[in-house]
């Protein structure tokens, strides 16, 4: 199907089918390829109008979603694509003879009522809109619900925790690299979602070759354990053969790529060639010979059968905060007053007298979801609270704190600027005052000096007039030549000349 936009663009509408079996964010969406339009199952297909006609709501919603997909396929961002799709939806409603404001009011009411979505989503649901609008909390929630579908669940779904990284000097193929805890802290978030494969591949993993690799699972995150100073990978393996390898003694090895290095040096009397400053994880490999000797002995979190007392105790230790405090934490994070800021960089919440980093608690909750009930939702005093909602609450509180800090910073800068301007103005006024006082003093001094020489302004005027008269008379008689150099003489000298020629004032 071909549709032309108002600007003349040709929108190639993919032949689609409508699926209304799910609760869909914002009432509608499409599959990744656009071949399926997903409409919220709670929206009625038809609306019977007072004039006896029946309006097919799905028809117009499908036009909107398919048009929006086609526009985004042309490179438009979500917002302009959405606005153009709304125009196409309106044109079709009007073309069929229905009132657009009435239809729009009905749909907006539906959208308002259906804002919540908490059931499984199709595995191919397209969440590009959330990426474009940077609504990461909704994106995370959608992603989690996509992967909770029963018909898309992992066939094995072994939830595993294993040590995988430790700070220090590491021997790589051709060099020794210093990897510090600070660098690993900064890299940890990049491990979320990376693939798990058996043995390292010969080349980097790309979108083009990942389908050809034996991907057997995904990493949900990395957690640091203070007890043994190791980073633990939480991951799910969906391949029986891979699980058997781990049970038989295989370990894990992380693959990362550097963003920035520093030069070499010495660490604990060991010479190293370079220091890793920052990087990103690419994959986690199940290997026979891991680089870190401690990266073995998996903890099968969701399989009590076969767990040793030792591994169970490790689970209990590592989840003391994440498991037992989830309910308390969710009850606490209800107001800004519960949040403390540390220089605007990290936020903490106080639980039973203990300060816990908010970001750390969120990561602990993400991990604990698998250990508790395998979902992203928790019942807190009868209310369902999802990790996505918690992250959204955290981001809101963090934004408020950042806004307050930015406001305080601006007020401080404005005050400093005003104080500086006032100081400059005061200094300028002082200088002008000093300059005026100096000029007044100089004028007064000159006036006083003139008085001492017996010549004031009135005297000078009389002398000038007498001199002028004398010169005029001499020229008229023609018996004397007068050369007047008075312009080059001082006031005192001119007074003396006048006195010699015409006598003193007395």
Domain limits of the chain? 2-146, 154-305, 320-452, 457-502
Structure tokens of 110?
């539906």
Structure tokens of 101?
């404001």
- In Å, how far are 166, 185, 200, 233 from 295, measured between CA atoms? 9, 18, 15, 10
User: Residue 285: pLDDT above 90?
Assistant: yes
Q: Measure the CA–CA gap between 94 and 78, rounded to whole angstroms.
A: 24
Closest CA to 65 of 32, 94, 39, 102: 39
The per-residue pLDDT for 311 is 40
126, 139 Cβ separation under 8 angstroms = no
The per-residue pLDDT for 228 is 83
Average pLDDT over residues 65-70: 90
What global pTM score does this model have? Answer: 0.35
pLDDT digits (tens, 9 = 90+) for 160-215: 889 999 999 988 878 899 999 999 999 988 888 888 999 888 888 776 677 677 78
List of long-range contacts for 466-470, beta carbons under 8 Å, 24+ apart:
466/498, 466/502, 467/497, 467/498, 467/501, 467/502, 470/501, 470/502
The per-residue pLDDT for 20 is 85
Which range has highest mean pLDDT (356-365, 400-409, 459-468)? 400-409
CB atoms within 10 A of CB 246: 19
365, 329 Cβ separation under 8 angstroms = yes
Q: Measure the CA–CA gap between 333 and 349, rounded to whole angstroms.
A: 8
Pairing of strands 10-12, 54-56: unpaired
Report angle CA 187, 190, 194 to the nearest 5 degrees. Answer: 130
Which range has highest mean pLDDT (143-157, 236-250, 376-390)? 236-250
Q: Measure the CA–CA gap between 337 and 349, rounded to whole angstroms.
A: 10
Give percent of the chain with pLDDT exceeding 70: 69
The helix (H) or strand (E) run that includes residue 440 is helix 387-452
Structure tokens of 186?
């900064």
Tell me, what DSSP letter sits at residue 288? Answer: S
Q: Is 67 left (phi over 0), alpha (psi -120 to 50) or beta?
A: alpha
The helix (H) or strand (E) run that includes residue 462 is helix 457-477
Place of tokens 């007039």: 465
Confidence of residue 23 (pLDDT cuts 50, 70, 90): confident
């Amino acid at each position: 199907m071909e549709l032309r936009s108002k600007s003349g663009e040709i929108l190639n509408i993919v032949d689609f089918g409508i699926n209304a079996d799910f609760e869909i964010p914002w009432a509608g969406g499409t599959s990744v390829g656009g071949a399926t339009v997903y409409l919220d199952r709670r929206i009625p297909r038809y609306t019977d109008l007072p004039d006896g006609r029946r309006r097919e709501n799905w028809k117009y919603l499908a036009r909107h979603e398919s048009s929006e997909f086609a526009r985004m396929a042309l490179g438009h961002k979500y917002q302009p694509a959405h606005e153009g799709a709304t125009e196409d939806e309106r044109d079709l409603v009007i073309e069929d003879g229905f009132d657009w404001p009435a239809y729009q009011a009905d749909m907006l009411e539906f959208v308002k009522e259906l804002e919540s979505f908490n059931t499984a989503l199709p595995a191919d649901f397209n969440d590009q809109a959330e990426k474009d609008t940077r609504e990461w909390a909704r994106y995370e929630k959608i992603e989690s619900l996509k992967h909770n579908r029963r018909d898309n669940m992992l066939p094995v779904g072994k939830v595993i925790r294993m040590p995988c990284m430790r700070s220090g000097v590491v021997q790589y193929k051709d060099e020794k690299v210093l990897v510090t805890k600070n660098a690993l802290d900064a890299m940890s978030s990049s491990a979320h979602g990376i693939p798990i494969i058996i043995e390292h591949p010969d080349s980097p993993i790309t979108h083009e070759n990942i389908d050809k690799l034996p991907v057997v699972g995904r990493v949900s995150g990395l957690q640091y354990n203070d007890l043994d100073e190791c980073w633990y990978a939480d991951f799910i393996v969906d391949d029986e053969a891979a699980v058997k390898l781990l049970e038989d003694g295989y370990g894990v090895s992380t693959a990362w790529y550097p963003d920035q290095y520093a030069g070499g040096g010495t660490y604990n009397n060991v010479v190293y060639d370079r220091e890793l400053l920052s990087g990103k994880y690419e994959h986690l490999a199940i290997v026979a010979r891991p680089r870190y000797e401690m990266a073995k002995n998996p903890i099968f979190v969701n399989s009590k059968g076969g767990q040793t007392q030792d591994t169970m105790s490790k689970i209990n230790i590592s989840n003391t905060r994440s498991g037992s405090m989830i309910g308390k934490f969710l009850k606490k994070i209800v107001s800004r007053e519960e949040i403390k800021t540390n220089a605007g960089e990290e936020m903490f919440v106080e639980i039973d007298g203990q300060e816990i980093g908010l970001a750390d608690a969120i990561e602990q909750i993400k991990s604990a979801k698998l250990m508790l009930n395998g979902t992203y939702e928790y019942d807190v005093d009868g209310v369902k609270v999802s990790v996505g909602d918690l992250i959204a609450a955290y981001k809101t509180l963090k934004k408020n704190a950042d806004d307050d800090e930015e406001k305080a910073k601006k007020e401080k800068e404005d005050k400093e600027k005003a104080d500086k301007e006032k100081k400059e103005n005061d200094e300028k006024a002082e200088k002008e005052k000093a300059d005026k006082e100096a000029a007044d003093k100089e004028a007064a001094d000159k006036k006083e000096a003139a008085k001492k020489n017996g010549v004031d302004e009135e005297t000078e005027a009389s002398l000038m007039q007498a001199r002028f008269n004398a010169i005029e008379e001499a020229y008229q008689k023609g018996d004397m030549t007068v050369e007047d150099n008075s312009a080059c003489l001082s006031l005192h000298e001119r007074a003396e000349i006048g006195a010699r020629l015409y006598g003193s004032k007395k």
